[in-house]
Amino acid sequence: MIKQGNYVNRPLPWVICASVFLNVLFIVYLVVQTNAINRLESVALEQSPISVEMTQKLTDIERAIGYVGFIHHFKNYVIRRDERYYQLALASYADAVKKVIEFESLTTNNELIVELEIIKRTLDEYRQNLLVAKSQPAEMSVEALDQIVKVDDDPASEALRTLQSSLLPKFEYIHDQTTLELKNLSHLTLLFNLIVAPIIIVVGYFVLSVMRKVHKLGCQLTSILDMSPDGILYISEQGSILQANKKACALLEYSETELKNLPLEQLVTSEYQAFCSHYREHVFNSDKPYAEYKPRRVKALTQSQREIELEIAIASQRVGDENRSVCIIRDMTYHNELKLKAEKDSLTQLLNRWMLDELLQKEIDRCTRSNQSLSLLLVDIDNFKTINDKLGHDMGDAILRETANFLQQSTRSYDHIGRWGGDEFILVCPNLSVKDAETYAHRLLRRYRKLKEISPHNISLSIGIATMSSETINQQTLFKKADVALYHAKNGGKNRFAHSDKLPTRNAQKTRYSRA
């Protein structure tokens, strides 16, 4: 794994240096190219439009004056003396004068303005002669009328040619400048490509190599996450899920897409939402660069609204400028099943001997601290061996289950009851004095004989009682006393109880095991 990391890290300085150099070249190229484009834009957008517009206006003037224009209509009126041509001539005159004025507004060249004045004077002279032609009698011949209204328009024609000639050099200049700038831009682009292309190829090779290695490591990381037996959630500081492995998706019955951007608190039951939010914020608000907290158990809801018990553990660390956390979720179903098997007797579902040892010691410690009493009841089924021998082990198992149910129903919520082994049961009863323990044992014996499942088989209980005192401060001593008391109850005729504190001195050291 270290070799892979080194392989990935070795090309990085070269890639960075090459990238910086490439970026500098690219910036220089952009600056030079931008300046060339600006110059081209100046020619194309500042000079060219004005020249094009002036050319267009000059064309409009020629059209307004010449064919289908003012002079055309003027001559048609002189020849035909038709009122329609007279009106067209007046309208064309006004349009021609307007075009001349518009052209004049586009230039500050005094020479061009003088030429425009010549054209305007010629137009005015034609218009004046149009009015003269209008005033002449209708019977006057065309030749006579033409002599009266004839206008010398050679100066105007020369002025138009002068205007055309003045525009031609501008177009040639624009064409030459545009060609030059485009040529420079083309050379610059070619030079840039020749210099940068090899660098791009080399850098591209290293980048692809690094990307391939990063992709491989990413795939390996994803595989590791997906192979995890626990669910893994990658969470943002706001509590949204950014990534989830396959186990988490299967456990919660969501796809990864559905889990993404889903708040973590939404996955737990309502009673755990506030705790989950506080737990996550507590992790993120830690001053440590890396914070990890012990697992906690919560109840979660799958997408199908099935409730499951989870153990969650959150670790937080800053990634860049943001806090990120990894939440490990573990399904406790199998663990609880194993715990149940480890703590409970499979036949009676009572606590087993190992669990009773642990609970008895805890109760002894607690009662010692609080100076409270504690009684231990050792219960044995009388004549149980006879049941097994005559009626079979199935009946014996049924008697054991009925006895377990009876004892469970007859104990307090804070008492502990378990199967000690064979046909023996043990009851750990906190806050039960000697007198109370005897009363309780007497009640158990009386009620047990009345059970309809028990009475036909002529079986009963024998109970040995030991109550904790200053001399019995450990479970071995307490259990030994209860065992002695049970031996005394058995020898006394069964279906009875005996308390270790009230035994005859001569029996104080005898136990059931000494009978064998």
User: Catalytic residue numbers?
Assistant: 423
Distance of CA 106 to the CA centre of its chain: 62
Dihedral sign for Cα atoms in the order 501, 503, 504, 510: negative
Please say whether the beta carbons of 328 and 230 come within 8 A: yes
- What is the C-alpha to C-alpha distance for residues 341 and 336, in angstroms, rounded to an integer? 8
The sheet carrying 424-430 orders its strands as: 416-421, 424-430, 374-381, 461-467, 497-499
Residue 73, Cβ density class (10 Å: 0-12 exposed, 13-18 middle, ≥19 buried)? buried
Calculate the dihedral angle through the C-alpha atoms of 38, 39, 45, 51, rounding to the nearest 10 degrees.
170
Could you write out the three-class secondary structure of 34-79? HHHHHHHHHHHHHHHHHHHHHHHHHHHHHHHHCCCCHHHHHHHHHH
Residue type, 475: Q
- What is the C-alpha to C-alpha distance for residues 104 and 355, in angstroms, rounded to an integer? 112
Please say whether the beta carbons of 225 and 233 come within 8 A: no
What is the greatest pairwise CA distance in the chain?
176
Structure tokens at 508: 């104080």
Please say whether the beta carbons of 56 and 50 come within 8 A: no
Q: What is the CA radius of gyration of the chain?
A: 56
Q: Alpha carbon of 49 to those of 54, 55, 171, 356, 378: distances in Å?
A: 8, 10, 10, 102, 114
Residue type, 166: S
With vertex at residue 488, the alpha carbon angle to CA 377 and CA 381, rounded to the nearest 5 degrees, is 55
313 SS3 class: strand
